[in-house]
Chain A
Amino acid sequence: KQEVTQIPAALSVPEGENLVLNCSFTDSAIYNLQWFRQDPGKGLTSLLLIQSSQREQTSGRLNASLDKSSGRSTLYIAASQPGDSATYLCAVEKGGSYIPTFGRGTSLIVHP
């Protein structure tokens, strides 16, 4: 059974710092890995989707990498801002299932 772990569970940093959020998974037979953002009381918003054949994806200040063989992904946030405060979840889709397995998320607070 696929297990997805996100470390750290919570993070509080001053504005301007560059951040790395980690996601690890136990079964490397995945189709993709997706990073989401969730604001309090809101739904999940897709940030980045990395296909299994890709190594990384970038969107603005966000960069996500994928190392299938080691079962790891990182989400890099450059020059963090208070508006980045949210919970970040990663999810991996097992090959052929269309069903993602989610991590518990990293709760990020960026203070001014």
Chain B
Amino acid sequence: DAEITQSPRHKITETGRQVTLACHQTWNHNNMFWYRQDLGHGLRLIHYSYGVQDTNKGEVSDGYSVSRSNTEDLPLTLESAASSQTSVYFCASSPGSPGAEQFFGPGTRLTVL
């Protein structure tokens, strides 16, 4: 069955380190998204991509970057981790058609000490 996976599922890192969170989907979806979920803020969009070589900033993109070199993967990089980036990160994907269903990965819990 097609799926969307994230790795690692849990990560502890130190302030200032570079961290990359992986997202891989096997649906061949054009659209991929990264969100963070925090108490009191709900889900917030970090970056998104409509296809290979396409990336766009979401509402909370500062300190994060993504690259899309193939259809299946959208890794999220924290260039210099900060304690404010401690959160649960979700990757999602959807087909490139209006009104299509969005599918989520299991999440990565990141702690920045």
Contact = CB atoms under 8 A, between A and B. Distances in A.
Interface of A: 31-32, 34, 36, 41-46, 49, 51-52, 89, 91, 93, 95-96, 98-100, 102-105
Interface of B: 31, 33, 42-43, 45, 48, 50, 58, 90, 92, 94, 96, 98-107
Contacts of B107: 41-43
The 4 closest A-B pairs by CB, nearest first: A31-B99, A32-B99, A44-B104, A43-B104
Contacts of B90: 43-44
Given A43-B105, A46-B103, 18 more contacts: A31-B98, A31-B99, A32-B100, A36-B104, A41-B107, A44-B92, A46-B101, A46-B102, A46-B104, A49-B99, A51-B99, A89-B43, A95-B98, A98-B31, A99-B58, A100-B102, A102-B42, A105-B42
Contact of A99 (B33, B96, B104, B105): B33
Given A31-B99, A32-B99, A42-B107, A98 B94 contact: yes
Main secondary structure, interface of B, reads: strand
A32 B95 CA distance: 14
Contact of A98 (B58, B96, B103, B106): B96
A84 to B, nearest CB: 19
B18 to A, nearest CB: 25
Contacts of B58: 99
Given A51-B99, A98-B98, A104-B42, A45 B104 contact: yes
Contacts of A89: 43
A99 B50 CA distance: 10
Contacts of B50: 98
B113 to A, nearest CB: 20
Contacts of A105: 42
Contacts of A36: 104
B4 to A, nearest CB: 8
Nearest to B91: A43
A52 B99 CA distance: 8
Contacts of B48: 98-99
A95 B104 CA distance: 21
